[in-house]
Structure 1
Amino acid sequence: MIIRAARAADAEALCEIANRVIRDTLITFASAEKTPVQLRAMIADKGEDYLVAELDGQVVGHAYYGDFRAGSGYRFTAEHTIQLSLAAQGRGIGRALLRALEQRAVMAGLHVLVAGISSANPGAVDFHAALGFTEVGRLPEVGHKKGQWLDTVLMQKIMPQAGIPHPDSSDKQG
């Protein structure tokens, strides 16, 4: 298995992974499938912080992070996404992807990673807990998909290597 930065050429394989999750599961509340054009733009935007897992020459998973919320006060916090193909599940690939993403987050100066997990995906809660994430909240019935109301479980991990940044002029209120 190889963990590497995503490339534009990965867009088709990433669409297959993401669109299966969108179409066939309650893991994400998204309903619009992604296009290769959208994914190529996302890869270009995220650069080295968009990771893929490759197994036997095939892309079998991806992970990336993005803004948690708007506003400069949240700039040291990011929310991540991780998705695997069915063939990749249960093989340690998700763990390797998330560990690599955590390293990227630390290098980027992030202090906290957040996971927003569908209540229809208890395995993801267990997965994140095993990797040091703590459940910090549950938002009842904030998602709706396939005729069901679903909760979002919020989990977070404070990046131990990152530390707390020193205040700077962009922390001024006003």
Structure 2
Amino acid sequence: MTDAPAIQKLWNLAILETLITFNSVPKTRLEVETAIESAKCMLVAEEAGQVIGYASFDQFRAGVGYAHTAEHSIMMDPDARGRGAGRFLMTQIEDEARTQGFHSMIAGVSRSNPMGEPFHAAMGYQTVGVIPQAGRKHDQWHDLVLMQKIL
């Protein structure tokens, strides 16, 4: 749990200042620790001893029928974007998902996040659907793009 405060800081920055996530309520330390403990995998990227990003995955939906489909989350420090750490984290969690027997990885990407779709496309994800007006934040509706990669 030594990375929990850094993960909490990055997560809450995304919640409060971006449209990367539709959540609008900051995460408590307990919520972050619970998320870390319950994830199938949670990895961090560090630079000069500081956490600059994290990625995690879990089963896409409950139930045996979804046992081989994962959904991931990735958050990067805005100052660390574009330097390869996000790509490294994605590669690592995809490798771990394969090791755990997952067949595909889902990304739920806010269409209002201008970096999300290009990043995932560059990582080999394909758009498989769009849910119009799936989330509401800052008094506006936002679309959710579903992207998938067969591992």
Q: Tell whether the structures are fold-level matches, with TM greater than 0.5.
A: yes
2:37 corresponds to which of 18, 33, 44: 44
Shift of 1:128: 0.5
TM-score by length of 2: 0.96
Q: What's the % identity of the aligned pairs?
A: 46
**Is 2:49 aligned against 1:86?**
no
The secondary structure found in structure 1 opposite 2:115 is helix
**Is 2:135 aligned against 1:143?**
yes
2:90 partner letter:
L
Q: Which has the larger radius of gyration?
A: 1
The secondary structure found in structure 1 opposite 2:23 is coil
**Is 2:107 aligned against 1:115?**
yes
User: What is the alpha-carbon distance in structure 2 between the residues aligned to residue 122 and residue 24 of structure 1?
Assistant: 14
Q: How does 1:23-34 map to 2 (within 5 A)?
A: 23-34=16-27
2:50 corresponds to which of 52, 55, 58: 58
The secondary structure found in structure 1 opposite 2:39 is helix
**5+ long unaligned stretches in structure 2:** none
2:4 corresponds to which of 3, 8, 11: 11
TM-score by length of 1: 0.84
Question: How many residues were matched structurally?
Answer: 151
CA-based RMSD: 1.0
The secondary structure found in structure 2 opposite 1:53 is strand
**5+ long unaligned stretches in structure 1:** 1-7, 160-174
User: What is the alpha-carbon distance in structure 2 between the residues aligned to residue 120 and residue 105 of structure 1?
Assistant: 27
Shift of 1:70: 2.0
User: What is the alpha-carbon distance in structure 2 between the residues aligned to residue 118 and residue 98 of structure 1?
Assistant: 17
User: What is the alpha-carbon distance in structure 2 between the residues aligned to residue 134 and residue 20 of structure 1?
Assistant: 27
